[in-house]
Structure 1
Amino acid sequence: MTATEAALWPLFLFAVAASYSPGPNNIMVMSTAARLGLPRTIPMAIGIVAGFGFMVSVVGIGLAVPLQRFPSLVGVMRWAGAIWLLVLAWKIGSAPGGTNGSERPAMGFLAAAGFQWINPKAWIMAVAAAATFVIPGHGPVASSLLRAAVFAAVGLTSIASWMLLGLGAGRLLATPGRLRRFNIAMGALLAASVVPAVLE
């Protein structure tokens, strides 16, 4: 096993644990798939993976340093993310128990990609990966791109799993009343995910 491979394994395990655990991205994808099905969830899911991969690469290349110099900017971004998550939680929780076929997801590709920059869990993951997992024999840019590639690969499988879980839940919750209760539960979970961000 090469030094690069030896360094990538711990990163891979970290990416699996971080990506598969519940968080704003996974809850939104699961809820959208349950309500609207896979075709209308896929753009959001791909946006999440692409946006977070880009974020990991940019943070690793050097964005973390200026953010450490200006901690007030981090606070502003954290609160902006918390407010936006609460808005999304309200939209999900107040969604009707059925769909007329024209309902749109809370976010499309670009919005989901951009959302990563105010997603508290995404920031924690990106900064932790950049600070913890150094790839021997690679400069900052190459290391950041390798980290981003690992997160993108794991993220695709993670987000697909949450989409399929949501699709299965949607089939089990075929009646409007059950789907309405599911929407309320998903909205509450998303709102609860804000708590660690604002208390940190």
Structure 2
Amino acid sequence: MDPTSLMALAIYAFVMSITPGPNNLMLTTSGLVFGMARTWPHILGIPFGVAVQLSAVGAGLGAIFALEPRLQVALKVIGTLYLLWLAAKLWRAGELRDASMARPIGFFQAAAFQFVNPKAWLIAGTVIAAFVAPGEGYAGRLAMVCLVFTVIGIPCMSVWAAFGAGLRQVLKDRRKLLLVNRTMAALAALTAVLFWL
């Protein structure tokens, strides 16, 4: 991959990784509820899932979705239901001290979520089409794309988790915590609605 393409890929990866979306919303929530240390498996699972997803799309899975649009609808439905379930849990969330009895999203759960995350599918399809030209060296270019998304994505996602963890230090008042939880719940529900626009 030439330096110009690599720079364009890095900028795209940064923009897609730092902007709001289901992953970053969930990471902020996890940072708030569980703290930064317990959120690391979630943070690391996302780029692993993205790399698997990029590899699958690069191997031809994207063509299957083009031929069978009902698969895309099924993924949207699953992603929507998951986000609405998360929103309901957040809406009812009480105090931070209850979080020690709950479990944060794990590495493999975070990786698997990428396969029902419409934003992740959009990114994967765009990246493969724009940055992984067919022909000799295809596997190397695909590996480079996965590496760039991992190297850039982890710090970007960590910012969102750290933001949530920072809120944890500020939100000692139950009423303020409830307000933040309900705001995050509304954003999760809104994100689910945006899947269909």
Q: TM-score range by the shorter chain?
A: over 0.9
**Aligned position for 1:160:** 158
**Aligned position for 1:25:** 23
2:63 alignment partner, one of 62, 65, 68:
65
**Aligned position for 1:186:** 184
Q: Could you tell me how far apart the structure 1 residues matched to 2:91 and 2:121 are? A: 25
Count of residue correspondences: 196
Give the C-alpha shift of residue 182 in structure 1.
Answer: 0.8
Give the C-alpha shift of residue 16 in structure 1.
Answer: 0.6
Equivalent position amino acid for 1:104 in 2: R
Give the C-alpha shift of residue 171 in structure 1.
Answer: 1.1
Q: Could you tell me how far apart the structure 2 residues matched to 1:10 and 1:76 are? A: 32
- Asked whether 1:176 is paired with 2:179, we answer no
Q: What is the RMSD of the two structures over their aligned residues, measured on CA atoms?
A: 1.7
CA deviation string 1:83-132 (max 9, x = no partner): 11111121122211322322222x21111110100011111111111112
Moved more, 82-91 or 115-124: 82-91
Equivalent position amino acid for 1:70 in 2: E
Identity %: 34
- Asked whether 1:90 is paired with 2:88, we answer yes
Q: What are the ranges of 5 or more consecutive residues in structure 2 without an aligned counterpart?
A: none
Give the C-alpha shift of residue 141 in structure 1.
Answer: 2.1
* Greater per-residue helix proportion: 2
- Asked whether 1:80 is paired with 2:78, we answer yes
Equivalent position amino acid for 1:167 in 2: A
**Aligned position for 1:6:** 4
Aligned structure 1 segments of 4 or more residues deviating by more than 6 angstroms: none
Q: Could you tell me how far apart the structure 2 residues matched to 1:116 and 1:82 are? A: 13
Equivalent position amino acid for 1:96 in 2: G
Q: What are the ranges of 5 or more consecutive residues in structure 1 without an aligned counterpart?
A: none
- Contact in 2 for aligned 1:11/1:133 (Cα 8 Å): yes
Q: Could you tell me how far apart the structure 2 residues matched to 1:154 and 1:135 are? A: 21
- Asked whether 1:139 is paired with 2:143, we answer no
Specify whether residues 136 and 73 from structure 1 end up closer, same or farther in structure 2 by C-alpha distance, changes over 3 A only.
Answer: closer
